[in-house]
């Protein structure tokens, strides 16, 4: 079994088309077919089902693809380690961050990171499907909300746990309160993110858990507009501590929510088999130090929803 044959095999798995795979590899289609036939003969089982011009990966092909992907990932990691020995502060770093305040939190660190390591090329993408991107090795690491049940294919680094708070204008009837039961919130006019926003999703899950549906009077997808509307007396809102820390909340009263408390764990996710490069290690260290300085971690006793 030759390394070149495995490269050819993975190209066909990606394209599911011999001609396109051959063009991608820069070889002729007969050459590609010959090499795959030789590989199948050596394994003793077909790797692809061929029906006319369409092909599908067989069960044996799926087993080989999974193992070859691990081999290629390990080789890439070895190559990165060797390159870093040659020039320890060069390389590439791709980071995924959940859209919204988590993306904003990560973005704030990019300039400092660039000043410290100007030769490292950085790519930041804001995505919802971060776990899939990590599993497909499309990004080096992701900063996101950690799930209750960890996937054995990934490793996690918890960064901080935070509560959500009710924010109202200083002359709002609730401004005299220091805490409020969650059910009482629904008796007031609410300004919130749309239902597809991560903050709103967590709030809606909490609502469902205690049997009512949040019905905001105003929905907007920017935190600036939410804070401006609340400050102007249009209603109350529910925001994470991260959002409150990253934005101007002067002239607002922040009230702790209880029964139940809304909270979430934010952390870093990366593929369990992936080599964590020097660049990734440095960025993780920088982000961790910044979070400590912001005092986002809260000593709270609640369950993440």
> How does pLDDT run across 273-296, given as a tens digit for each residue?
887 888 888 899 999 998 888 877
- In this prediction, residues 53-72 reach a mean pLDDT of 89
Average confidence (pLDDT) over 297-303: 53
Residue 229 pLDDT exceeds 60: yes
The answer to whether residue 299 scores a pLDDT higher than 60 is no
Share of the chain above pLDDT 90, in %: 43
Query: Which pLDDT value is given to residue 121?
Result: 87
Give mean pLDDT, residues 233-239.
94
pLDDT one-digit tens code per residue, 159-218 = 999 899 999 999 999 999 999 998 888 889 999 999 888 888 889 988 888 888 888 999
Choice between 149 and 285, residue whose per-residue pLDDT is larger: 285
- As to burial, measured by CB atoms within 10 angstroms (0-12 exposed, 13-18 middle, 19+ buried), residue 213 is exposed
DSSP sequence for 33-98: HHHHHHHHHHHTS-SEEEETTEEEE-HHHHHHHHHHHHHHHHHHHHHHHHHHHH-TT-EEEEEEE-
- 126 touches 103 (CB < 8 A): yes
Q: Which domains does the chain have, with CATH numbers?
A: 3-76 (1.10.10.10), 85-159+266-294 (3.40.190.10), 161-263 (3.40.190.290)
pLDDT at position 228 is 94
Q: Give the residue, 148 or 271, on which the prediction is more confident.
A: 271
pLDDT given at position 73: 86
Query: How high is the pLDDT of residue 89?
Result: 61
Residue 126 has pLDDT above 80, yes or no: yes
At residue 84 the predicted structure's pLDDT band, cuts being 50, 70 and 90, is low
CA 224 to each of CA 88, 152, 227: distance values in angstroms, whole numbers, following the listed order: 41, 38, 5
- Res 79: pLDDT: 77
Average pLDDT over residues 115-144: 89
- Check pLDDT > 50 for residue 305: no
Mean predicted lDDT score pLDDT of the chain: 87
């Amino acid at each position: 079994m030759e390394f070149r044959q495995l490269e050819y095999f993975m190209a066909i798995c990606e394209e599911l088309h011999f001609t396109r795979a051959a063009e991608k590899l820069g070889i002729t289609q007969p050459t590609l077919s010959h090499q795959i036939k030789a590989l199948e003969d050596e394994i003793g089982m077909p790797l692809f089902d061929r029906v006319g011009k369409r092909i599908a990966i067989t069960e044996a092909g799926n087993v080989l693809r999974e193992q070859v992907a691990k081999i290629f990932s390990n080789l890439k990691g070895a190559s990165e380690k060797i390159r870093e020995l040659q020039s320890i502060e060069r390389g590439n770093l791709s980071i995924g961050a959940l859209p919204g305040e988590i993306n904003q939190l990560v973005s704030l660190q990019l300039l400092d990171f660039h000043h410290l390591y100007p030769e490292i090329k950085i790519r930041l993408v804001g995505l919802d499907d971060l776990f899939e991107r990590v599993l497909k090795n499309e990004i080096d690491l992701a900063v996101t909300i950690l799930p209750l049940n960890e996937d054995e294919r990934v490793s996690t680094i918890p960064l901080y746990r935070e509560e959500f708070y009710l924010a109202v204008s200083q002359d709002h009837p609730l401004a005299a309160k220091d805490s409020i039961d969650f059910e009482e919130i629904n008796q007031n006019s609410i300004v919130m993110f749309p239902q597809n926003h991560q903050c709103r999703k967590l709030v809606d899950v909490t609502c469902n858990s205690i049997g009512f549906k949040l019905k905001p009077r105003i929905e907007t997808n920017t935190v600036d507009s939410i804070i401006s509307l609340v400050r102007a007396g249009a209603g109350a809102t529910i925001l994470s501590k991260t959002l409150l820390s990253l934005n101007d909340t002067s002239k607002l009263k922040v009230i702790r929510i209880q029964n139940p408390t809304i909270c979430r764990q934010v952390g870093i996710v990366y593929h369990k088999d992936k080599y964590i490069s020097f660049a990734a290690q440095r960025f993780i260290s920088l982000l961790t130090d910044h979070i400590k300085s912001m005092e986002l971690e809260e000593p709270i006793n609640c369950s993440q929803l």
